[in-house]
Amino acid sequence: MALYLRKKLDNKAEIAVWQITETEEELMALISVPNDEMEEISLIRNQNQRMQKLAVRALLNEVFEEKMYLNHHDNGKPYLENCVTNISITHTDRYVAIITHDEDDLGIDIESLDRDFSAVEKKVLSEDEIDDLDEDKRNEQLAIYWCAKEAIFKRMSQNRVDFAEQIEVEKFRPKGEGELEATFIHKDEHEEEFELEYMTFDRHVLVWLVG
């Protein structure tokens, strides 16, 4: 079993991270999956994606005492059919992570720092954010920007969000862990402010927000 991290936050949310060290067969042996969900997973052709789905199920089995029925809204946002707990999910080839809270809306995102994030600069950063980039930690900083904006996007559950224009992350310097301040600008120009947290481990960055 590869539960990598389980952490209760001060705001009563909980983060859990699973490191995928098992084979697909070993993951299958670890978990109990509702039939309709197993059928959906079996239709996924890409093995890495299947294993990520199975690892999410392993994580749910670890965190919850009862079997959870995982489903998704039309916009892709996950929810638990038989539980009022809110959930957000993220995964890479090597890790899957969830964040849960009984009341508040959530967002979480994980990325491997071995990825090249140069495209993020042109696609999702504002001019001010580009000006704030450090040359010596540029890729790590871009990864954190991306994860932060993805986490906010998941939290907001809105379609057609312009990451560069509608999500603004305040200037920061990458560390092993830290806090981020960000603003979401609605299309009617109403602004919502968010505080996010992040941590880096094993060449990965994880960013989340609650509330």
Q: Which of 146, 158, 207 is nearest to 15 (CA)?
A: 207
Give the domain range for residue 131: 110-210
Residues 109-134 have a mean pLDDT of 95
Q: Which of 128, 138, 142 is nearest to 170 (CA)?
A: 128
- The predicted-structure confidence for 8-45, as pLDDT tens digits, reads as follows 999 999 999 999 999 999 998 888 887 888 888 889 99
Residues 62-86 have a mean pLDDT of 90
Q: pLDDT higher for 73 or 151?
A: 151
What is the tally of structural domains in the chain?
A: 2
CATH value at residue 121: 3.90.470
pLDDT at 51 over 90: yes
Enter the tokens of residue 72: 């998704």
CATH value at residue 14: 3.90.470.20
Distant-in-sequence, close-in-space partners of 43: CB < 8 Å, separation ≥ 6 = none
Q: Which of 18, 72, 24 is nearest to 50 (CA)?
A: 24
End of a domain among 50, 84, 103? 103
End of a domain among 59, 79, 103? 103
pLDDT at 125 over 70: yes
Domain identity same for 155 and 201 = yes
pLDDT at residue 36, as a whole number: 81
Domain identity same for 195 and 133 = yes
End of a domain among 48, 78, 103? 103
Distance CA 148, CA 143 (A): 9
pLDDT at residue 11, as a whole number: 92
Residues 145-159 have a mean pLDDT of 95
Distance CA 190, CA 166 (A): 10
